[in-house]
Amino acid sequence: MNLFQDKLTELSALNKRRALISANGIDFSSNDYLGLANHEGLRQNLIEHLQSDIALGAGGSRLLRGNHPQHESLESFAADFFGAEAALFMSTGYLANLAVFTALAARGDKIIFDEYVHASAKEGIHASPAKHSKFAHNNASACEDAVKRARDRGAKNIWIAVESVYSMDGDMAPLAQLMDIANRYDAYLIVDEAHATGVHGPDGRGLSAVFEGAENLIAVHTCGKALGQAGALVTLSAVLKDYLINTARSFIYTTAPTPLMAVAVEAALKAVRDEPDRRAKLLDLISHAHGTFKNVPGETQIIPLIIGGDGAAFAQAKRLQEQGFDIRAIRTPTVPKNTARLRLSITLNVTPTDIEDLAKAVIS
């Protein structure tokens, strides 16, 4: 036990020790971009379902007794909403990424990923039997060079993996260029839409929506961010969905999401469809935030305030928390060395005045 305590002490000395703290103060840290986590209409919808005979638990994996009508209803609605041939609902985005990379990318294949793609995608990539290499962030030319080398060296299938909106930098992937590369080199494009779903793209359907229906596109739509719920939807061809159901261990050997969560996610997607004013209001807030915090990178609801050292970022976050702002420090290894930051997240849980007050507090 002392060994682990020593390691924790070392993390503390390096300003890298993490701790669970409760939500407190003005929300500048959550991913509840559209404010759907506390949407009264969604709440009432769930209450009505609870008063019916809906199962409270799934009862098993989807392939045993855990496949419920609510799961299938959600998948049908989601495929139509996103414009995909099929959708598969999974318990978390982490498990979805494990499924996609470990089941689809095989030995003899090559995965080429953006160096800033987030941790759950990297976990799936590293667990895959396929070889992998990274390319410089958002550099389509570097991606093409890597794809060409893989093709010249006889890779069977090539998989390009990116985020549409990067979770720590708030910038967007050059998806049109990447999709063109995938098409020209007979490769697949895997897009994690975690921070775009509900916010960006046509009608909030994500930045890859314009390419949906292509057989070589797989998109992961996390449901715990702008949708305010939990789980993840993978949109893809019907053949690839069937293949995941048959081969993805993180799908086969996991208890299914509850039927109630499937209901909640479908209701959240309908709210995105039926309440476009929410998205419009959020986009106005994002514009206001970028006008208030000048000369910051990114162009989305995620605004990184780069501090530098881990200790300095942690101290700054603590100072702002004491002033009533819930903002967190992001440190290595989540971000590169000397780029520790405050990750400012713009949601409908704040007002323009809140944004201005935070900017004044950051400067002071």
The residues assigned a catalytic role are 31, 118, 163, 167, 192, 195, 225
Which of 111, 145, 115, 147 is closest to 130 using CA atoms? 111
Q: Are 307 and 318 in contact (CB under 8 A)?
A: no
Which helix (H) or strand (E) segment holds residue 250: the answer is helix 249-252
Q: At what angle do helices 259-274 and 276-292 cross, to 10 degrees?
A: 70
Q: At what angle do helices 352-363 and 276-292 cross, to 10 degrees?
A: 20
Q: Are 223 and 38 in contact (CB under 8 A)?
A: no
CA 285/CA 155 separation, integer angstroms = 45
Which of 208, 206, 200, 203 is closest to 182 using CA atoms? 208
End-to-end CA distance of the chain: 43
Residue 207, phi then psi, degrees to nearest 5: -75, -15
Q: Which amino acid is at 329?
A: A
- 3-state SS record for 151-194: HHCCCCCEEEEEECECCCCCCECCHHHHHHHHHHCCCEEEEECC
Which of 139, 159, 137 is closest to 147 using CA atoms? 159
In the 8-state DSSP scheme, what is residue 85?
Answer: S
The verdict on whether omega for the bond into residue 202 sits within 30 degrees of 0, i.e. cis, is: no
Using a 10 angstrom Cβ sphere, with 0-12 exposed, 13-18 middle and 19 or more buried, the burial of residue 278 is buried
Which of 203, 202, 176 is closest to 191 using CA atoms? 176
CA 134/CA 146 separation, integer angstroms = 8
Write out the two tokens for 358.
Answer: 């935070």
